[in-house]
């Protein structure tokens, strides 16, 4: 299919890749060919049982070399209508159970055992219900793919990214999947297994430029608010949506956005709402490595500076736009702010500024330090037009964050 049917991963190449994984500390999810042994029908359905002999041989080799695999994922974009072909939910569930049985055999006596992930395709409520209903004891993570902006060639791509109502369209996908997982009380968690925003390699100077951080960080915020445990970006390098420049290997703006998220936003998500313009996207988490909370504010407006006060479950009248968070709050004098803007205000720029300073690696390839500006915490947070702000409030004393320490 797609001229990849006769592709082959030689074991010497797999050895080289694992040397790289070990050196970088990467956690590896490997996608297994779920079409092996099936027959493609005229209606586009692939029928028959998954033939896992090749997958088991590969897995046994991996174990014999003591290579660490974080998870094995069955298939790619075969659920619901599929891409190119599809597999019915009941058969996919049986094959996923077969993968779990195989992992138990191959990894007998080995701890920890890799996760089992599936189906790695686009969300369809009925298909996912049927699938999860039959695989409740088996799955470690339910993976789905997101390209909610449509085709990369779309000339309206930037307008979609800056339209809050368009960004909200994917809300139901996150909510519906979470509801299904709760309904079946499964131990499986939700993952976005692949997302590049705009399919077919994105669009140059959009999906690899500053403007894409509006979409990317909004996705991280929205998915986290719906208990998504992992979000896999397409791609680290490659196409027009890579985190690294495909020629120079230097970071694109989304690399720095992702790194700031990783360093500042902890695992505990706080229910957050913003009272004011719909052009502000607001999210809050317990801070990752320090006390307090971190806010993420995204201003999609091209001309309006927003001044945001932070209130903790207050119902009073505010002079400015307000972010509502859970109580209580202990006052403090200083907060840290990280303002991201495009160079020269050009949303298509591949250079991002942090607090007015260009972010770029040095000659040794080292990532620059992320130096905040320090602001009186009693003043509103100023969010300039077409900018992104991370605000760390170290003295915000929220019970959900207290337990970490």
Which DSSP state fits 113? P
DSSP one-letter string for 282-315: EEEEEESSSSSEEEEEEE--SS--EEEEEEES--
**Active-site residue flag, 16:** no
Residues 73, 77, 100, 337: which is the catalytic one?
77
Q: Which fold has domain 273-402?
A: Immunoglobulin-like (2.60.40)
C-alpha to C-alpha distances, 390 to 118, 218, 287, nearest whole angstrom: 33, 12, 11
Extents of the domains making up the chain: 11-265, 273-402
Q: In 140-210, at which residue ranges do the beta strands (DSSP E only) sit?
A: 141-146, 150-151, 189-195, 198-199
What percent of the chain has pLDDT above 90?
88
Q: Residue 28: CB partners within 8 Å, gap ≥ 6?
A: 21, 68, 69, 70, 71
Beta-strand pair 306-312/280-287: unpaired
pLDDT tens profile 22-68: 999 999 999 999 999 999 999 999 999 999 999 999 999 999 999 99
Q: What is the 3-state secondary structure (H, E, C) of 24-58?
A: HCCCCEEEECCCCCCEECCCCEEECCCCCHHHHHH
Residues 73, 100, 194, 336: which is the catalytic one?
194
pTM above 0.75, yes or no: yes
User: What is the Cα–Cα distance from 389 to 382, expressed in whole angstroms?
Assistant: 8
**Active-site residue flag, 73:** no
Q: Are 210 and 158 in contact (CB under 8 A)?
A: no
pLDDT tens profile 249-308: 999 999 999 999 999 999 999 999 999 999 999 999 999 988 899 999 999 999 999 999
- We find that the CATH architecture of domain 11-265 is Alpha-Beta Barrel (3.20)
Q: Please compute the mean of the pLDDT values over residues 66-93 and round it to a whole number.
A: 97
Q: Please compute the mean of the pLDDT values over residues 204-219 and round it to a whole number.
A: 98
> H-helix or E-strand containing 334?
strand 334-342
Work out the pLDDT band at 397, boundaries 50, 70, 90: confident
**197 phi, psi to nearest 5 deg:** 80, -60
């Amino acid at each position: 299919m797609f001229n990849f049917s006769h592709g082959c991963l030689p074991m010497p190449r797999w050895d080289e890749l694992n040397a790289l994984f070990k050196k970088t500390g990467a956690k590896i999810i490997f996608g297994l060919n779920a079409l092996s042994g099936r027959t493609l029908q005229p209606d586009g359905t692939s029928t028959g049982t998954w033939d896992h002999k090749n997958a088991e041989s590969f897995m046994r080799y991996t174990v014999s070399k003591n290579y660490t695999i974080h998870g094995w994922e069955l298939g790619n974009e075969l659920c619901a209508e599929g891409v190119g072909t599809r597999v019915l939910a009941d058969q996919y569930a049986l094959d996923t159970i077969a993968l779990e049985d195989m992992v138990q055999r191959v990894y007998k006596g080995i701890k920890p055992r890799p996760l089992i992930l599936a189906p790695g395709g686009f969300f369809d409520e009925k298909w996912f219900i049927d699938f999860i209903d039959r695989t409740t004891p088996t799955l470690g993570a339910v993976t789905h793919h997101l390209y909610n902006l449509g085709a990369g060639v779309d000339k309206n791509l930037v307008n979609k990214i800056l339209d809050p109502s368009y960004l909200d369209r994917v809300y139901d996908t996150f909510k519906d999947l979470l509801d299904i997982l709760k309904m079946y009380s499964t131990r499986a968690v939700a993952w976005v297994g692949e997302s590049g925003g705009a399919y077919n390699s994105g669009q140059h100077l959009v999906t690899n430029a500053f403007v894409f951080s509006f979409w990317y960080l909004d996705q991280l915020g929205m998915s986290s608010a719906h208990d998504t445990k992992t979000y896999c970006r397409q791609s680290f390098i490659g196409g027009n949506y890579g985190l690294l420049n495909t020629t120079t290997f230097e970071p694109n703006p989304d690399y720095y956005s992702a790194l700031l998220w990783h360093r500042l936003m902890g695992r505990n998500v706080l229910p957050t709402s913003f009272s004011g313009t719909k052009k502000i996207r607001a999210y809050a988490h317990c801070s990752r490595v320090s006390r307090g909370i971190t806010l993420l504010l995204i201003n999609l407006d091209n001309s309006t500076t927003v001044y945001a006060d932070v209130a903790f479950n207050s119902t009073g009248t505010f002079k400015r736009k307000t972010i509502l968070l859970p109580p209580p709050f202990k006052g403090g004098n200083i907060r840290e702010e990280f303002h991201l803007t495009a160079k020269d205000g050009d949303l298509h720029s591949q250079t991002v500024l942090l607090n007015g300073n260009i972010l770029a690696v040095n000659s040794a390839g080292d990532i620059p330090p992320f130096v905040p500006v320090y602001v009186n915490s009693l003043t509103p947070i100023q969010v300039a037009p077409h900018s992104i702000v991370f605000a760390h409030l170290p003295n915000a004393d929220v019970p959900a964050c207290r337990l970490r320490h």
